[in-house]
Structure 1
């Protein structure tokens, strides 16, 4: 089980690095580079990955459903101001859709609607003083980055909604 936790840390850190690189690429007027900000993003993503990895490991080894609470370790990354709730909703809606929960048609439809709305949300929460600087290529890079991060978060969020196996105890 703890092997899944270690793998979760690595994958979470990787998502954090991707998120930080994407943030640096889309900024129109970059602020000074901050190692503390970069480390906070990567560490919070790695801790979130640890939580989701522990949930997966517990599910696969037949442990108690209470292990789902380990996913709360992902909240600092998913609910951070940088995510503006976009990361959290992507993990929850996308994870629910990927887990194929009932009603089967509703979850993918809701997730598709959410993913279609992401570019508009990205534009709406952007800096209104610099919307004139958003050319088509820049706006496309923002959208592709949001879709990529949202898809990765949906895969992680899937662990919360997968059915827990029934294990008979002696």
Structure 2
């Protein structure tokens, strides 16, 4: 039950390029059928293409851009993204969304005594908690946050348990 993200941005961009091309071709075709002067003349396009050389910088640049765009779209299609739903341990086929897990852990870390603000980053295998405190004595605060996060992870029980890293930022009172 690892739902992968949809590749909406590459799909939308590809769809818009194809739609624009099809609309332009349809407009030119309709203009030719009804006898009007077409928006883009076939003869001007073929003359421009026949006059270009393979070693021109414009031709090489357009080719390189097309190859790069194709490789980027191929990588977007083949490489897996971060899963949107993380599977939970147990006999049932259940999962939790990444944002729900992050919000639950962030509220847990923020409720620890002495933490003024907590911000979590949920990676593939790690959870990095950025904790801000107004205390001048921060002894034991990272251990308390880690224990609270571990307890919350025990309640949620993800199938693969991420490692927890705590980054403590103390704003010291200055005279």
- Shorter-chain TM-score bucket reads under 0.3
Instruction: Please state which structure has a larger fraction of its residues in helix.
Output: 1
Instruction: Please state which structure has a larger fraction of its residues in strand.
Output: 2
TM value normalised by structure 1: 0.28
Q: Quick check: which has more Rg, 1 or 2?
A: 2
TM value normalised by structure 2: 0.27
